[in-house]
Structure 1
Amino acid sequence: MTQTSLATQRFVAIAVTATLSLSATVKAAEQSDSQEGVYDDNTVVIIASRFKERNARLPTNITIISKDDIERSNATQVVQLLKRVAGVQVSSVSGKTTVSMRGISAEQAGNNVLIQVDGRRLNYTDIAAPDLESVLVSDIERIEIIQGAASTLYGDQAVAGVINIVTRSGNSKESNASLIAGNFGTVQGNVNLNHTLNQDWSFLLSANYLETDNYRDHNERDQSQLAVKFNYLTDTSDWLFEANTNREDLETPGALLDFDLSEPIQSRPEFANDYVDSQQDVLRVFGQETIDENWQYALDVNYLDSDIESINSFVGFPTTTVNTTDRTQWSIYPRIKGEWQAGSGSIDWINGIDYDHAEYDFSLLGRSNEQVVKSLYSQLFIPLSKRTDIELAARYARVEDDLVDLTAYPSGIRLKNSATAYDLGLSHQFSEDSKGYARYSNNYRFAKVDEQSYTAEGVVGLEPQTGDSFEVGYEQSFEHGYLKLSAYQLVLDDEIFFDPAATPPAGAFFPGANVNGGESERLGLIVDYQTELSEELTAGANYHFVDADIKRGESGTAGNRIPGVSEHTVNAWFDWQIDSISNWYIEANYRSDRYQEGDVANAQPKVGSHVVLNSAVNWQWEQVTLGIRVDNLLDKEYIDYAQFGGYYPANGRYGYVKLSYRF
């Protein structure tokens, strides 16, 4: 029997198990059509269609972290919010966070999970991870998460999912200020000032300052941010004009070796001079206009200018060389949506063009790149009946890189590639409060500039990574909770990753190279449940299982586990409304062991499993809120990220007090 047929049987077994476990629930759901639907009609969802709309028709697993969820958890960092989400694995390196989904390793997460703020990409054209630490939690209105491939709608890098962070606008009608003080020398203050200029125009000013020593030695961080937004809102128009700037100075403690871990807070001597100082400026325009009863259009124009100065040493190889990285990225995304009422429901047709232009310069390797990506896409929803929808979608994309690298391509080289993606989805509403769905989709990503310039000897340019995704799911709302179940298969061909066993390019100063691998497969199951145990107590739990294997690769790797991926993750939480002014929140996060990042041979020691407890208590008196949160309550020592024998310890117990005032 072939590996493919065995994989298909395993996926079918997972899907059938999920379906059988739901049969009794579905029957009960079909008997109750009067309760609230799976999606709250008061929630404006952007991520499912790239238009602001009330209903999410995309047949896939969509998670929304609400403003109330954020406030009750007393989180101050985006990573704290994402750790509780089913199917998400979070890793931190020297104070910077990567978020992976669908069995993608942390090393590859920044290339395969698309992260946006209000529709603006945080992902870069180089392999640096999206800067989640630049996002102010006090600014967040909600977080929308697509679990699964979304290449037809979002294009490059939306292989395993999309996270869209929606921030507050000027029309939120509320101002607030907060002050935070915690251990590790943490002090933070931020303010959001809203002002209504007239009936249509409103204004928001946000400012933030943070300084902290962090858990490890030589890891001090200073950050200051300022943002200005103007909103224009009428019955037919919704426009946003935004400018923001972010300055951050960060000392980086580097990795530890195994024998260093008895003192996890230390930084090895070779990293004594290492740092990353960055300045990032963003300009953005978003608009959505209703043309008539059938048509509306939307437009995104984004510009980013990022300048970085750093010293980056390696274990055993100290350096004092100062590197500079300069990025400019701008994009324009026009799209139009038609909507027509039929006897069985609404026909929605979305068409758009995505144009992305980026320039990148890295001084250390004499490396530069000008990249242009052009895409066309179309998405169509057709109601087959009053309870059944079908989704059809397609995208065509072309990328062109003008690449220079001092070692590999000193005279420059032009690389061109293209990719396509297709979706076929079906959703059925069993009742007003339950639905099921199935979805097949293609996905792709183009190689980053760092990857294109460090390929194996004799290889000129990497091919696009492509893949296929299949998902089935069921969602059930109860009077006081919900249940979500989904099973998926993600198969990637020509997967782009760094292989330490590959022949390095000429002039390389470390072994290995970026390659197009053979074939990899992830089979997964997600269970997500929330309920109100009483009027005062809400509880939730979720579980993610993923079987992530290399199916076809270099000699000796076929059948190995994909490194950096935990087979099991479990999250559970309780939120107790103690009385009218106070609540207590506690959560537990479990992650099973996994191979170190990059260890495709599965030869190095595994990173151990861990359980972490986090807790928060909030008191609210009219306009004033006092909150206390402690992360890693039991001061558990564990490894957050490991690669090639270099270990990055997770933070020890971290607590802070937050005082907020609304006006």
Structure 2
Amino acid sequence: MKQQFSSKTLIALFCGVAATFSAVAQNSQSTVVVSGSRFEENLNEVPANVKVITRDEIANSTSNNIPEVLSQIGGVNVKNTSGNPLNLDASVDMGGYGATANSNTLILVDGQRLNPIDSGTINWESIPIDSIERIELLQGGASVQYGNGAVGGVINIITNGGAKNLNQASITYGSYNTVIGNAILRNRVNDTTIQLTANSSNTDGWRQNSAANAYSFDGKITQSLGGLDQAYIDLFFNHSNSQTPGSVLGQAGQGDSQGARAAFIGSSIATDNSGVRAGLIKEITNQLTFDIDGTYSNKNTNSNTPSYSSYLLYPNWQIAVSPKIKANFGEWGSTVIGYDFNQASQSSSYGSSFSNTSLQQNVAVMNQSMYLISRIPLRVINGLEASGGFRHQAQNASTNDFSTGSTISASQKYSANAGDVALNYNYQPGQNIFIKWDQSYRFPNTDEFWGWDQNANGGWGAPIFNGILKPQISQTYSLGGEWKIKHSRLSALLFQSITQSEIRYDPSSGSNINTAGNINRTGFLFDSSSNITKNLTLAGGGKIQRSTFATGSIAGVGVGLSPDLLLNARAQYMFNASWGTGAVLNYVSSQNYESDPTITNSLAKIPSYVAADFYVNYKIHSWETKFMIKNIGGNSYATTGGYNSTRGYYYYPTTPTTYFVNAKYNF
């Protein structure tokens, strides 16, 4: 595959940008985040690497959907298999977990989890992009705060709009007949804020059999109760329907990258998801604050593959409630105590058509956990704080398998503990360093109770029950800091994690297993931004990371789909109050195909790639227009792929150069 820039040139470019940023950095004592303790606190008080993406940054970018925001502004490794511009199936990897990235990165909406109970994709389309006020990206383990799955990182999408009225609508048209419509109506009447957001997205797709459409609606009412007290209720609904072109056989760049595999022509996946979120925050006294939130969702996924006469139904529901209380002891620190309850159920039915299916499996899961988080200022040195926390979570899982003609039933109770200890030193306003140890965990997804028997059904294959797996445990040691001086910011993090009993797919047995040996991840990341002049803003970041198996004959072998180097650079220039332009550049190094680790070192690698986007916008009165070019140069690279003994190499190509025009009206 053609690469437009050499690795040496790119590294020199990014290092030069970083050196510029490190020379200066902005006082931001007022930057507020909630991802550190689940209560609002100043960013400099959080002993963790947290990046905040604002609403304005999203607006001044080429992003049409949340995965693009995370890749272009957040610098997160994003993979997709769809072959269309909507990114409905995108997965994000914050910790170098490769094929299991979605299960090790926790996605939240206003602090409530969006991850499904199985290994399916995140319903990004359920969150209209115009409803987002900010996105918080917390790097590393956070199971003390959020429990299951907060291992590689946490992405908290905040839609709490606040009191400012905002009414706007936009339409985007682009390549492959892609049409995206967004609207937000937010108005405050006395102490009540009503926010309605909607999205409609359609595309023919670049690849054969890759058309997709998605619709979402969100209605939120927030009632101020005086002071910090408020309550909200949020109703949401979304529908998506995506054709699935399948992988391309061969190494990345080989074969007909635009064509669909014959077996997948006519295949599609449709999802309907609806539910309600609600919350209340109440200041009991000057020292005590009570917070409770909860959610209920009902999701139905249908998968249809006509060439196999295969129709799958996956209905599921989830309910969660999370009460918590924060005690503020003033100069003596603060403590948060909370309880999380989650219950979910899922079933799977299979047949030749919608009207001809039979129940194959069902699963029920209940999670309960208690946690405590404390922060204590140390009087010995001004600005030095100690913090720590603990969580205990128990999971009861039960399942029935009817696929073999006889019922196989199993039930299991497992528990896991999380903990963290940190020192955070604010030695100057807007500047802090921290050192931290944390232990986080992940319980298996419901579909990870089953593997895949390649030899069943005359070679067509079939799911096989492999048991209820125990949770994986990760311990991470990290050293980091953030520096803000004048008009610039720089953050950095050095980390090492060790994961025991990691849940992964074993190609040799066809089962999901707890790996026998440890998997180590070591790396360094940085992110920076600077207002060079009143018109020019530069930003950039990167991550150097090595994810390897640590024991036995595969010691030192790299984890599949985990690149060693990620680089991101962004620029924005305002010519005047009306005209502006910007660009983003992402570099992803070569990475191993997902494969049996015993043969990984003998295989080729997915090539490195560079993706560059550009936009120019114009504002006049209530109108805003924007022209965007994505993937300048047309390099159709691959973000994901694999190798197995049946198919050999396979990969999923991305969309080449695309063009979009956007018009937005504020009224």
TM-score > 0.5 by shorter chain: yes
The correspondence for 1:650, drawn from 636, 654, 660, is 654
2:664 aligns with: 660
- Normalised by the size of structure 2, how large is the TM-score? 0.88
Shift of 1:379: 0.0
2: distance between equivalents of 1:54 and 1:527? 20
Shift of 1:616: 1.2
The correspondence for 2:347, drawn from 361, 365, 369, is 361
1:445-460 correspondence to structure 2 within 5 Å: 445-454=442-451, 460=467
Q: Secondary structure at the match of 2:210?
A: coil
1: distance between equivalents of 2:203 and 2:425? 50
The correspondence for 1:131, drawn from 123, 126, 131, is 123
* Aligned residue identity for 2:330: Q
1:63-78 correspondence to structure 2 within 5 Å: 63-78=51-66
1:42-121 correspondence to structure 2 within 5 Å: 43-55=31-43, 57-84=45-72, 88-94=76-82, 95=87, 96-105=89-98, 107-121=99-113
Q: Secondary structure at the match of 1:450?
A: helix
User: Between Structure 1 and Structure 2, how many residues are aligned?
Assistant: 615
The yes-or-no answer on 1:226 pairing with 2:217 is yes
* Aligned residue identity for 2:521: R
The correspondence for 1:372, drawn from 343, 362, 366, is 366
2: distance between equivalents of 1:311 and 1:446? 29
Mapped contact 2:32–2:42 kept (Cα < 8 A): yes
1:182 aligns with: 174
Q: Which runs of 5+ in 1 are unaligned?
A: 1-17, 30-34, 504-510
With over 3 angstroms needed to count, the CA separation of the structure-2 counterparts of 1:168 and 1:380, relative to structure 1, is: closer
Shift of 1:599: 4.0
The yes-or-no answer on 1:491 pairing with 2:491 is no
2: distance between equivalents of 1:225 and 1:548? 37
**1:496-527 deviation digits (Å, cap 9, x = unpaired):** 000102x3xxxxxxx45434342000000012
2: distance between equivalents of 1:475 and 1:53? 16
The yes-or-no answer on 1:464 pairing with 2:458 is no
2: distance between equivalents of 1:112 and 1:583? 38
Shift of 1:135: 2.4
The yes-or-no answer on 1:213 pairing with 2:220 is no
1: distance between equivalents of 2:330 and 2:241? 54
Q: Secondary structure at the match of 2:119?
A: coil
Q: Secondary structure at the match of 1:454?
A: strand
Mapped contact 2:248–2:255 kept (Cα < 8 A): no
With over 3 angstroms needed to count, the CA separation of the structure-2 counterparts of 1:167 and 1:458, relative to structure 1, is: closer
1: distance between equivalents of 2:199 and 2:425? 45
1:9 aligns with: none
Shift of 1:532: 2.3
**1:380-430 deviation digits (Å, cap 9, x = unpaired):** 000013301111100000001111123588242111100001100110012
1:166 aligns with: 158
CA RMSD of aligned residues (A): 2.3
The correspondence for 1:597, drawn from 585, 594, 599, is 594
Shift of 1:118: 1.2
2:420 aligns with: 423
Shift of 1:121: 1.1
Shift of 1:584: 0.7
- Normalised by the size of structure 1, how large is the TM-score? 0.89
**1:603-641 deviation digits (Å, cap 9, x = unpaired):** 432100001111111111122110111110111121121
The yes-or-no answer on 1:328 pairing with 2:317 is yes
With over 3 angstroms needed to count, the CA separation of the structure-2 counterparts of 1:225 and 1:459, relative to structure 1, is: closer
* Aligned residue identity for 1:294: Q
2: distance between equivalents of 1:119 and 1:627? 32
Mapped contact 2:466–2:511 kept (Cα < 8 A): no
Shift of 1:596: 1.1
* Aligned residue identity for 1:652: P
2: distance between equivalents of 1:87 and 1:439? 23
* Aligned residue identity for 2:575: I
2:233 aligns with: 241
The correspondence for 1:142, drawn from 126, 134, 138, is 134
Mapped contact 2:228–2:283 kept (Cα < 8 A): yes
1: distance between equivalents of 2:618 and 2:151? 41
With over 3 angstroms needed to count, the CA separation of the structure-2 counterparts of 1:287 and 1:44, relative to structure 1, is: farther
2: distance between equivalents of 1:652 and 1:185? 14
The yes-or-no answer on 1:299 pairing with 2:292 is yes
1: distance between equivalents of 2:527 and 2:185? 36
Mapped contact 2:451–2:511 kept (Cα < 8 A): no
Q: Secondary structure at the match of 2:556?
A: coil
2:267 aligns with: 274
**1:53-84 deviation digits (Å, cap 9, x = unpaired):** 44552201000001111111142111121113
Q: Which runs of 5+ in 2 are unaligned?
A: 1-14, 351-358, 454-463, 644-648
1:535 aligns with: 534
* Aligned residue identity for 1:250: S
Shift of 1:534: 2.1
1:10 aligns with: none
With over 3 angstroms needed to count, the CA separation of the structure-2 counterparts of 1:131 and 1:250, relative to structure 1, is: same
2: distance between equivalents of 1:647 and 1:439? 38
Mapped contact 1:102–1:490 kept (Cα < 8 A): no
With over 3 angstroms needed to count, the CA separation of the structure-2 counterparts of 1:643 and 1:193, relative to structure 1, is: same
2: distance between equivalents of 1:485 and 1:227? 36
The yes-or-no answer on 1:473 pairing with 2:472 is no
Identity %: 25
Q: Secondary structure at the match of 1:270?
A: helix
Shift of 1:432: 0.8
Q: Secondary structure at the match of 2:69?
A: helix
Shift of 1:445: 0.6
* Aligned residue identity for 2:205: N
2: distance between equivalents of 1:488 and 1:410? 46
Mapped contact 1:87–1:526 kept (Cα < 8 A): no
1:4 aligns with: none
Q: Secondary structure at the match of 2:263?
A: helix
2: distance between equivalents of 1:612 and 1:210? 23
* Aligned residue identity for 1:496: I
The yes-or-no answer on 1:155 pairing with 2:143 is no
With over 3 angstroms needed to count, the CA separation of the structure-2 counterparts of 1:391 and 1:87, relative to structure 1, is: farther
* Aligned residue identity for 1:44: V
**1:98-118 deviation digits (Å, cap 9, x = unpaired):** 00012221x111110000111
The correspondence for 1:204, drawn from 179, 189, 195, is 195
Shift of 1:180: 0.9
The yes-or-no answer on 1:348 pairing with 2:334 is yes
2: distance between equivalents of 1:55 and 1:637? 39
Mapped contact 1:421–1:443 kept (Cα < 8 A): yes
Shift of 1:328: 0.1
Q: Secondary structure at the match of 1:246?
A: strand
1: distance between equivalents of 2:254 and 2:465? 40
1: distance between equivalents of 2:177 and 2:69? 22
2: distance between equivalents of 1:52 and 1:214? 41
Shift of 1:179: 0.9
Mapped contact 1:152–1:423 kept (Cα < 8 A): yes
With over 3 angstroms needed to count, the CA separation of the structure-2 counterparts of 1:357 and 1:512, relative to structure 1, is: closer
1: distance between equivalents of 2:256 and 2:243? 19
With over 3 angstroms needed to count, the CA separation of the structure-2 counterparts of 1:236 and 1:465, relative to structure 1, is: same
* Aligned residue identity for 1:214: G
Mapped contact 1:357–1:372 kept (Cα < 8 A): yes
Shift of 1:305: 0.3
2: distance between equivalents of 1:561 and 1:589? 22
Q: Is the deviation greater in 247-256 or in 234-243?
A: 234-243
Mapped contact 1:465–1:516 kept (Cα < 8 A): no
1: distance between equivalents of 2:413 and 2:330? 42
